[in-house]
Amino acid sequence: MSFLRFILAIFFLVSINFGVSNAHYKLTPTFYDCTCPNVIHIVRDVMEQIQRRDVRAGAKIIRLHFHDCFVNGCDGSILLNNATGIISEKDANPNVGAGGFDIVDEIKTALENECPGVVSCADILALASEIGVVLAGGPSWQVPLGRRDSLTANRSGANSDIPSPTETLAVMIPQFTRKGMDLTDLVALSGAHTFGRARCRTFNQRLFNFSGSGRPDPTIDSNYLKTLQRLCPQGGNGGTFANLDKSTPDEFDNYYFTNLKNHQGLLQTDQELFSTSGSSTISIVTNYANNQHKFFDDFVCSMIKLGNISPLTGTNGEIRKDCKRI
């Protein structure tokens, strides 16, 4: 009987230790130093090539990273195609029309040629996001690495957890707090809209019939409203692109926040940050509009925080050879 107890005790200790090793596995910028030491150089080289032919590359990738992390954590689930047992997040409402998947594939191919089976697709999204920001003139940071890729996707989670461009601030705040993010994170990460584009269908409800009123959103500057109405006429092509930042659309800076103060935010979710009466986000927007250095510092902290949402590590998940399939 004592021998049986001994065996059970050993089994229990091994099980606990195995679980702890995964639970306490920390992401670190040096994760690939031995297994793929050129990982940052490779990702940067590909991003630089793509950026020369597609100025929206950085904005596309950072959107994918954000939408990935807000659904089951940063695990590359957004990249999976439909397959047996996989209901793709690509077809979820917030991801329809999203770009950047081809960029991920191009980076993955380059990494597989150099260090096959080593770098996860989830880490590619995190690394390429930082590099895309830097290439557009934004801040740099050391990206914690060591994420692994999911074995499944969660379309229903994508539909419920990712803020839509027509959300009110009251809806967005709990969407962020449920992920461990606060108001500073909400405003700072929204600042990623300082570059990139959005289609007319994501904001045209503000231009003619806001909230069923039969009138435009009263928080839009009148001259900016006329510009948007010409670009996105009622009943027109909802696929037409508009600049998320009217001032410096391809540069990563703090003009996005200046635009909000001037009531020239493109999406409802943008302008809500400044125009929601009594909200604590107003002072954060004002601070960032006046102090780009503060915005950059907070953005870096929030991006690292975003990238740490429930990553798969240790022996969980896998390293995909093709980011589109398990």
Tell me the binding residues for substrate.
Answer: 163
How far the first Cα of the chain sits from its last, in Å, is: 45
Query: Residue 231 — left, alpha, or beta (φ > 0 → left; ψ -120 to 50 → alpha)?
Result: alpha
Could you identify the residue written with the tokens 């409802």? 268
Binding-site residue ranges for Ca(2+):
68, 71, 73, 75, 77, 89, 194, 245, 248, 253
Give the list of residues 6+ apart from residue 215 with CB closer than 8 angstroms, or none: 208, 209
In order, the DSSP letters of 74-92 are SSSGGGPPPBTTB--GGGS
Binding residues: 68, 71, 73, 75, 77, 89, 163, 193-194, 245, 248, 253
Q: Residue 117 in contact with residue 317, Cβ under 8 Å? A: no
Beta pairing partners, 145: 28
Cβ partners under 8 Å of residue 170, min gap 6: 276
234, exposed or middle or buried, with CB in 10 Å at 0-12, 13-18, 19+?
Answer: exposed
Contact 71, 158 (CB under 8 A): yes
- Report the catalytic residues: 67
- Residue positions in the annotated binding site for heme b? 193
Burial of 50 (0-12, 13-18, 19+ CB in 10 A): buried
